[in-house]
Amino acid sequence: MAGRDVAKIPCPFCGRLVDRLIEGMCEDCYVERHPLVKVKETRVLRCRYCGALFIRGRWIREGRGGVEELAAKVLSDKASVSGAIERIEASQSYDGLTARVVVKGSPHPSIEPRLFTYVLTFEYVYDICNSCREMLSRREVAVLQIRGYPRGIENDVKKKIIFIIEQELYKLKDKKIGFISDIKDLKNGIDIYTTNANLARHLAYVIHRQFPSVVTETAKVVGVKDGRKIYHMTYSVRIATYKPGDVIVLKGEKMAVTSINNKYVVLHLSERGRYEQLSISELLRSEVTFIGQH
């Protein structure tokens, strides 16, 4: 009948009554589920020193186009765009890059092309670009060695250590205390090479405060300049990786670890039936035979 209202169809996703469905959903739901910008990878390598980003196999520094130009290059590498990019507004922090992208297009032939806005975030993962690595390697004067005893250092602990170091470097970014020239992930620990002995020493004690450990320092003469000896410093952080239930032999007596924290370890002397508390320093500096879990 003329003038009669056309029956509305409920959208099975949002429940709204609409004139038509597009592939089983209303237009708004279809647009929401079919964005014109799809991110394939959210992590981006960034040089911790010069800020260059690793995009499509090469390191790219911020140019005259600023952070928006970098964001466009990140999008071309890490996302797919269906439509024309009209505008990009971007900002970055230590943690990552945020881009507000305006795209003109349509997710479906039955939808009129229009402007869509997306806010995208990318996480920065820090490394050292080739140029900075080459420059810093010429200035390496110290190494920080982190090891676990009696076990090596587990991967989750390694990640925590790297995170602590990155946060500390960020705190020191405005101070002239040198740089990290390389980080080597070893089977039983981590080696961190620095261009300044004070930086290596500082990081050693930052890590020491976070884990049951001891720090030792050694110096090696590597040359003479203007009549003065040149030293290469090594800072060693030995982390106690004992666990409750571990059995050891210390001073000729069999003992079991009952608890351990950053300062002390509590041992059960089975033969004498009593408990003894040792400092982490004393434990790590003693001759200990590790037997294993009882």
What pLDDT sits at residue 204?
96
Tokens describing residue 118: 């997306």
Q: How far is CA 218 from CA 144, 148, 194, 234, in A?
A: 11, 18, 15, 5
From first to last of the 294 residues of the chain, give the pLDDT tens digit. 444 556 689 999 999 999 899 999 999 999 999 999 999 999 999 988 788 999 988 999 888 888 999 999 999 999 999 999 999 999 988 889 999 999 999 999 999 999 999 999 999 998 888 887 776 665 667 899 999 999 999 999 999 999 999 888 888 877 777 788 788 999 889 999 888 889 999 999 999 999 999 999 988 765 555 566 555 789 999 999 999 999 999 888 899 999 999 999 999 987 777 898 999 999 999 998 888 887
Note if the bond before 150 is cis, omega within 30 degrees: yes
Cβ neighbours for 288, distance < 8 A, ≥ 6 positions apart: 150, 248, 249, 250
What pLDDT sits at residue 167?
87
Phi, psi of 275 (to 5 degrees): -110, 150
CB 217 within 8 A of CB 267: no
What pLDDT sits at residue 1?
46
pTM of the prediction?
A: 0.55
